[in-house]
Structure 1
Amino acid sequence: MSNLELCITYQNKFTKLQKISFLLNTAIKGVIKAEFELNELVVTVELNELLNLLTFLKLNPQCQFEQLMDVCGVDYPEREFRFNVVYNLLSVSLNQRIRVITQTDENRAICSVRSLWKNADWWERECYDMFGILFSGQPDLRRILTDYGFNGHPLRKDFPLTGYVEARYDADQHRVVYEPVSLTQDMRDFDFDSPWEGIITLPGDEKIHDKR
């Protein structure tokens, strides 16, 4: 494919997304904004209208976003609704992508989209595990990456870097045990001088001291 053909293909794809952007901004309820960021169409939608929007994007002939590529979270702890939940969609039929963003907090559940895309099960469980984001209508909302009985959600920005517990093998109990984190080397003074300095004098050392 020549450079001219590539430019025409890109322009056609960009034009199609512009039409979708105009449609979402003018005709779809709950859309806060639909605009381009770094040549990608990003749609921000109210939490209560998320499922309706995603259903439209999957079934509408102009959209046909039949694949859910991933669902991820972003934490802004200083905000009232601290979490952005991001849905990345792909249309194989029309060769186009879109990103959908909504906001929530620790208590407001997001409607599960597993009825639209079966693979949402795994992504929603990961968001719950890493951020503590709740999904209503999700029948298997268990942790998926952390261990059984894990305390907290590791990708929250207020989660301590050391975690809350540490694991070790107990030789007496013949099993792995979990204990509160103990930073035994929290504060240490390091002496970076050579241990041999001042002990042995080698031929030529006097020249170095003379230059100083």
Structure 2
Amino acid sequence: MSARTNSACAVVRSLSKAAVGGSRSPALRGVLPATTLMRTYYSGQKRPDGSELPNVRKAERLPVGPLSAPIVNPADKYASAGESLHAYGRYLISCLPKHIQQFSVWKDELTIYIAPTSVLPVFAFLKNHTAAQFTQVSDITGVDYPTRNNRFEVVYNLLSVHHNSRIRVKTYADEATPVPSICSLYDGANWYEREAYDLFGIFFVGHPDLRRIMTDYGFDGHPLRKDFPLTGYTELRYDEEKKRIVVEPLEMTQAFRYALMIFFDARESVSGRNKDLTMFKLPTPAPEPESKGEQKK
């Protein structure tokens, strides 16, 4: 080990002598440290053999020539697909005029809108009809719009392997209005509906086992709702006295709540909605009232 160390030190000493202009052995002749080479290249100096380095900035460049791909409108890519999807959407409405309210096409995606009472008839048609055969449910999710009367939008994504096509079905619900379960038609919808119930609180009538799937047992609230606080309603901690993990209601100081409000208001001011930043200062908390015993003293 010491012999290797001594040889490495000898090489370093030889390189250092070569860099400062000292004696250079024949084996190390023409060898410079990496820092010297980098400095020579970037500073535009000459090479060790005396030749000049080319100036890359002033070098002649070959003409670019014609572009490899013409500039076209991206919407033209889906023009042919959009026409066929519009025709298929009109065909579905003609087949189910009492159930499909409307349809929309965006790029190469077809979306139909139905009422909650039409879920089972529409999905039975989409699965079993020869012109559809959407036999696979890829995903079921929800979107929360608190300002709407029916705040939840339930989204189904279906796949037809036979026709190599996809379709999206949307319906609506609220906290008290349930949606019929499609587990009787699609076995793969079981866990998707449980996830939508767990995260949004959407109820599915006829589900064989509608319980939480992602959050813990006894979890309070539904995390993906817009009115769900970021900190949650409870906190999980280890109690030193009880020597176990306990779940307690979350206690948040009012100053911390003000800080969150100021953060969102400051974002609005930066975006130009409000120019006055002085109004976002924390208010001074009022002093606590004295107890009766302290007042008598």
Q: Which runs of 5+ in 1 are unaligned?
A: 1-9, 189-212
Partner of 1:52: 121
Structure 1 counterpart of 2:244, one-letter code: R
**TM score, norm. by length of structure 2:** 0.57
In 2, are the aligned partners of 1:109 and 1:134 still within 8 Å (CA)?
yes
Partner of 1:175: 244
Residue 22 in structure 1 maps to residue 22 in structure 2: no
For 1:86 and 1:38, the matched residues in 2 are separated by 18
Q: Deviation per CA, 1:84-135, whole angstroms, max 9, x where unpaired? A: 0000000111110000000111111111000111111100110110011001
Q: Deviation per CA, 1:50-98, whole angstroms, max 9, x where unpaired? A: 1111111111111111100010000011111110000000011111000
More strand by share: 1
RCO comparison, higher one (Cα < 8 Å, 6+): 1
Q: Deviation per CA, 1:7-32, whole angstroms, max 9, x where unpaired? A: xxx88865653442111222302211
In 2, are the aligned partners of 1:32 and 1:45 still within 8 Å (CA)?
yes
For 1:65 and 1:49, the matched residues in 2 are separated by 17
Partner of 2:291: none
Q: CA distance change for structure 1 residues 63 and 11 in 2, over 3 Å: closer, same or farther? A: farther
In 2, are the aligned partners of 1:58 and 1:65 still within 8 Å (CA)?
yes
In 2, are the aligned partners of 1:20 and 1:63 still within 8 Å (CA)?
no
Partner of 1:152: 221
Structure 1 counterpart of 2:185, one-letter code: L
User: Which of 64-73 and 27-36 deviates more?
Assistant: 27-36
Larger radius of gyration: 2
Q: Which runs of 5+ in 2 are unaligned?
A: 1-77, 260-297
Partner of 2:191: 122
Q: How does 1:76-95 map to 2 (within 5 A)?
A: 76-95=145-164
Q: Deviation per CA, 1:129-166, whole angstroms, max 9, x where unpaired? A: 00110011012111111111111111010111110001
| Secondary structure, counterpart of 1:126 in structure 2 | helix
**TM score, norm. by length of structure 1:** 0.78
Q: CA distance change for structure 1 residues 13 and 117 in 2, over 3 Å: closer, same or farther? A: farther
Deviation, 1:39, is 2.5
Q: Aligned-residue CA RMSD in angstroms?
A: 2.2
Partner of 2:295: none
**Residue 99 of structure 1: which of 168, 180, 189 is its match?**
168
Aligned residues: 181
| Secondary structure, counterpart of 2:138 in structure 1 | strand
In 1, are the aligned partners of 2:85 and 2:108 still within 8 Å (CA)?
no
In 2, are the aligned partners of 1:42 and 1:100 still within 8 Å (CA)?
yes
User: Which of 117-126 and 173-182 deviates more?
Assistant: 173-182
Residue identity over aligned pairs, in percent, reads 48
User: Which of 44-53 and 168-177 deviates more?
Assistant: 168-177
Q: CA distance change for structure 1 residues 15 and 93 in 2, over 3 Å: closer, same or farther? A: farther
In 1, are the aligned partners of 2:234 and 2:248 still within 8 Å (CA)?
yes
Partner of 1:109: 178
Partner of 2:70: none
More helix by share: 2
